[in-house]
Amino acid sequence: MRTIAAAASVPDTTAPCPVCLSSDTTVFFRGRDRLFGFARGTFTLSRCRSCGSVLQVPLPDARVLEAFYPPGYWWGNEAGSPSPSLRLLNQLEGGFRGFVNRGHVRFVIRAAGDPQIGSHRRSLLDIGCGSGTFLHLARSRGFSCHGLELSSQAAAFARDHYGLDVREGGIGSDVWGNRTFDVVTLFHVLEHLPDPGTALLVVRSLLRAEGVLVAQVPNVDSYQARLFGRRWYGLDVPRHVVNFTAQSLARLLARCGFENDRIGH
């Protein structure tokens, strides 16, 4: 496995929190890439005293951040493994992914309402859609489904395997023109973005009037996070650069013009 060396730097703890814009932060801990061992070096996380978010400092730019991801991070549908044990693990992971995504679909329906009203199938855009499992299940419940995905492999799989309208690009990519959607979903996307506020403003422009956004992030104030501390899986150093509490996410959404409707755990 190849490794990426992170450039050494002095953390700028005075940089404003991208969630609440406060500069009142304190060092939370310094850690390494424990999950993959891919990004080499030590990374500093600070906690914002104002909103409780935990931030990587300094926040990496897009080029540096991209280098933190091992091949296949965004997409778990690698095929053709010669090992029976790995094939079994892939099958188990696929079953678990289906279970989780069916729960996502149920939550979206509770939050957004009926997928189909009369003959009108409500449109849904999933940003960071991966290989399309969630969209495939949402379409079976009545949504008109579309996806946006950074990984060309995952986007191609979603199109070829599920026949989905998935386009390649990141948030802000001009791949939808002036099109808007009834529902936009962001499952485990915002914590990867150094500037989640700007991303949410882009998402707002993709929503129709009275449209619904469903966003899911790890909760850095959860019982699980408190129990495991710096060893909590949800931190995923250094790929999760902004770690939210439920309150800080609601605060950011309100700042970006959204009305908070419900929170699920």
Provide the residue ranges of all domains of the chain, joining segments of one domain with +. Answer: 1-71+217-245, 88-216
Q: In Å, how far are 3, 103, 116, 118, 238 from 262, measured between CA atoms? A: 41, 16, 21, 26, 29
Q: Does position 156 have pLDDT exceeding 80, yes or no?
A: yes
Once rounded to an integer, what is the mean pLDDT over residues 158-177?
92
* More confident site: 177 or 8: 177
- Per residue in 16-71, pLDDT tens? 899 999 999 999 999 999 888 889 899 999 999 999 999 999 999 888 998 898 87
Q: Which helix (H) or strand (E) holds 103?
A: helix 84-112
Cα 208 from Cα 188, distance rounded (Å): 22
Tell which wins on pLDDT, 33 or 12: 33
Q: What pLDDT is attached to residue 115? A: 92
Mention every residue, 6+ apart, whose C-beta is less than 8 A from residue 97.
76, 133
Q: Are 17 and 194 in contact (CB under 8 A)?
A: no
| pLDDT exceeds 80 at position 91 | no
Give residue 87's pLDDT.
Answer: 59
pLDDT of residue 177: 85
The CATH architecture assigned to 88-216 reads 3-Layer(aba) Sandwich (3.40)
Q: What is the pLDDT of residue 172?
A: 87
pLDDT (mean) for 241-262: 94
In angstroms, the CA 230 to CA 247 distance is 21
Residue 75, pLDDT score: 62
Examine the pLDDT at 15 and tell me if it is beyond 90. Answer: no
What is the average pLDDT value for the chain, to the nearest integer? 86
More confident residue, 97 or 187: 187
Q: What is the pLDDT of residues 94-108, one digit of tens each?
A: 666 676 888 899 999
194 preceded by cis ω (within 30°)?
Answer: no
